[in-house]
């Protein structure tokens, strides 16, 4: 059994790594053979060398962006979860405020970002707010769905036993909603990073978004790709961390949680 699990974990790591290396080799060959200018599309080896030579600087900017993303992720998901609990228990409030949540979702974050800078300044506050806003809707929708999608027979049983609303929530609704919640939490990992970078585009003097913006102005495409690679790696680690926590919390669940 242990050998089988070890083999499965090895396949999970080895197969994506093999495909990634193969993709880099193909891109390297295409760029070299077509003689594509470096300012248009640099070779992966040039990007890798730039990451190595400027690792400390890139790591510092990446850590700032990831810290903003994680903070916004936590704030947005907490607010979304609390709002979803209220919506699930009070239909009038849900009907009154849900259209505004949809309007917030359909408004591009890049359109809101200048207002966030105006309200929260050019420091980390506006970036955290951007990440929180973009993470709010997925957790709201999935949690409401999970809290409402319960077995009527189980609900009738709880009520026949004179269970309080709190007991029904903690023992029935919340456990049923956990797969939906973690599905939203996994989706939001990437959205949080996007929100932080968009906030940095509008106004910042540090972070990966700032590095990408300055690199664009100076046509430093290699540095731009290096910055994108660093934050992409950070986003992948963030996603894997949430997935790991999900497996520990939902240890009884073998099938994949709904998306």
Model confidence pLDDT, tens digit, residues 28-61: 899 888 888 888 888 999 999 999 999 999 999 9
Check if the beta carbon of residue 130 is closer than 8 Å to that of residue 196.
yes
- Given CA atoms 60, 64, 67, 73 in this order, what sign does their dihedral have? negative
Token pair for 14:
């080895």
Q: Which segment of 15-29, 151-165, 191-205 scores lowest on mean pLDDT?
A: 151-165
d(CA 65, CA 68): 5
Which residue, among 237, 222, 213, has the nearest Cα to 44 in the 3D structure?
Answer: 222
Mean pLDDT of the chain: 87
Q: Within the chain, where are the H helices?
A: 2-33, 44-53, 55-89, 91-106, 109-120, 124-148, 152-160, 165-168, 174-202, 208-217, 221-249
φ, ψ at 164 (rounded to 5°): -75, 170
3 state SS of 252: coil
What pLDDT sits at residue 257? 42
Average pLDDT over residues 7-14: 66
Distance CA 200, CA 217 (A): 15
Condensed to tens digits (0 to 9), the pLDDT of residues 90-145 reads 888 888 888 888 888 888 888 888 888 888 888 888 999 999 999 999 999 999 99
The mean per-residue pLDDT over the stretch 134-160 comes to: 87
Q: How far apart are alpha carbons 67 and 61 in whole angstroms?
A: 10
Is pLDDT of 19 > 80?
yes
pLDDT at 191: 93
In this prediction, residue 153 carries a pLDDT of 82
* Long-range pairs of 112-121 with CB within 8 A, sequence gap ≥ 24: 113/198, 113/199, 113/201, 113/202, 114/202, 116/199, 116/202, 117/199, 117/202, 117/203
């Amino acid at each position: 059994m242990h050998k089988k699990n070890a083999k499965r974990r090895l396949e999970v790591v080895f197969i994506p790594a093999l495909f990634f290396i193969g993709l880099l080799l193909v891109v390297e060959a295409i760029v070299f053979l077509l003689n594509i200018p470096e300012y248009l599309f640099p070779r992966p080896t040039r990007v890798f060398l730039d990451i190595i030579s400027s690792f400390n600087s890139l790591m510092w900017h990446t850590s700032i962006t990831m810290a903003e993303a994680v903070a916004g992720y936590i704030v947005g998901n907490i607010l979304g979860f609390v709002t979803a609990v209220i919506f699930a228990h009070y239909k009038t409030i849900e009907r009154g405020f849900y259209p505004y949540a949809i309007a917030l979702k359909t408004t591009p974050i890049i359109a809101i970002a200048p207002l966030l800078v105006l309200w929260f300044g050019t420091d980390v506050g506006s970036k955290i707010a951007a990440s929180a806003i973009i993470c709010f809707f997925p957790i709201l929708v999935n949690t409401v769905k999970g809290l409402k999608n319960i077995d009527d027979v189980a609900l009738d049983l709880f009520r026949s036993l004179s269970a309080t609303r709190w007991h029904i929530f903690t023992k029935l609704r919340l456990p049923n909603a956990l797969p939906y919640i973690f599905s939203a939490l996994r989706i939001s990992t990437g959205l949080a990073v996007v929100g932080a970078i968009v906030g940095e585009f509008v106004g910042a003097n540090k972070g990966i978004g700032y590095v990408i913006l300055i690199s664009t102005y100076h046509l430093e495409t290699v540095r731009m790709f290096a910055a994108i690679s660093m934050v992409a790696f950070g986003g992948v680690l963030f996603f894997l961390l949430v997935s790991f926590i999900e497996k520990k919390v939902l240890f009884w669940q073998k099938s994949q949680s709904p998306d």
